[in-house]
Amino acid sequence: MLRKSISGTNSSVGQTTDSFGCPFDKLYKDQSLHGADISFFRKGTRDDRIEQVVTPASDRGFAIGISTVPGHSRRIFHEHHATTHVFEEDALYIRNLAEPYKADLNGAFDMLLLEISPASLIKIAQEADFSGVTMLNAETASTDPVLANLVRALVPALERPEDASRLFVDQLATAIGTHLVQRYGGKTQASSTRSRKLSRSHEVLAKNLLLENLDGQISILDVSRACNLSRGYFIRAFRETTGVTPYQWLLAERITRAREMLRSSEAPLSEVAIACGFADQSHFTRVFTNVVGTTPGHWRRNA
């Protein structure tokens, strides 16, 4: 049985601060989600001031933060001086967790955070044809609309992890990791003339595995390993072969199956939802309405 990599976590018993140094009692948002080689968090506080945040040096890797609201500022203390930075909406920071960190935080914030271990960064870089990337360049309060939009796409999954597809989270994590090493890894992508399309046998195998896991709770890594391909290469090849990503393909298959059941049977919507891989009727209704433009019940009555 596959182990889900999606989870929501709460404050650790006995701890007064989270792994980024923020006091738990100041946070009104504290969510987490774990995808392919990247851990995602959402941290928010309404307090105008959180005193001083201190985190010691560690081997955890790299932290990336994206501000979802404007007005937050930080006075960061370096060895011989301090610098002040104002974070506008979608402003980001990248810092190496191997370096100690101390800062005064001012203004309420709502941050989307990523954490990538050193080993995961190397793996992401290799799969993206950026072999040799072991570091990310430091950034503070700069902007990157592409990264901000990619990470924001995970907000619904952070809010409702029980509805989140493991396939979707892994796929988006791969895209985010590729963007990070490409823009902040300081290396040039290796040229490649290899075909990016799946062989017919790999295409059939991948689609069968996806259909056997209609709920999306199979990882990109599981499917790519079955095809003996790297995760990044598999996603690119699947998209080039089918015109869509693995998650988009599976979602279309789920909606097609749902339409067939709605048209040909009197099964309750709750049964249709489960049979087509949705968490429950509410989840089914939200996704179906978003894709088709009308609710399942209304579609059935007019089919």
- Cβ neighbours for 174, distance < 8 A, ≥ 6 positions apart: 36, 124, 127, 220, 231, 232, 235
For residue range 112-145, what is the model confidence (pLDDT) as tens digits?
999 999 999 999 998 888 888 999 999 999 999 9
What is the tally of helices (H) and strands (E) in the chain?
11, 10
Residue 8 reports pLDDT greater than 60? no
Let me know: does 110 contact 44? Beta carbons within 8 Å.
yes
Average of per-residue pLDDT values in the chain = 89
Which class would CATH give 248-302?
mainly alpha
pLDDT at 97: 96
The pLDDT score that the predictor gives to residue 194 is 58
Model pLDDT, residue 190? 60
Nearest CA-CA partner of 171 in 45, 65, 38: 38
Whether the pLDDT of residue 11 is over 80: the answer is no
> Which of these CATH numbers, 3.40.50.1370, 2.60.120.10, 3.40.630.30, 3.50.50.60, describes 24-184?
2.60.120.10
Residue pLDDT, tens place only, 39-86: 999 999 988 877 789 999 999 999 999 999 998 999 999 989 999 999
pLDDT at 10 over 70: no
- Quickly list DSSP for 64-121: EEEESSS-EEEEEE-SS-EEEEEE-TTEEEEEETTS-EEEEEES-EEEEEEEE-HHHH
- The domain spans of the chain are 24-184, 200-243, 248-302
| pLDDT tens digit sequence for 201-250 | 999 999 999 999 998 899 999 999 999 998 888 999 999 999 999 999 99
What is the maximum alpha-carbon separation in the chain? 73
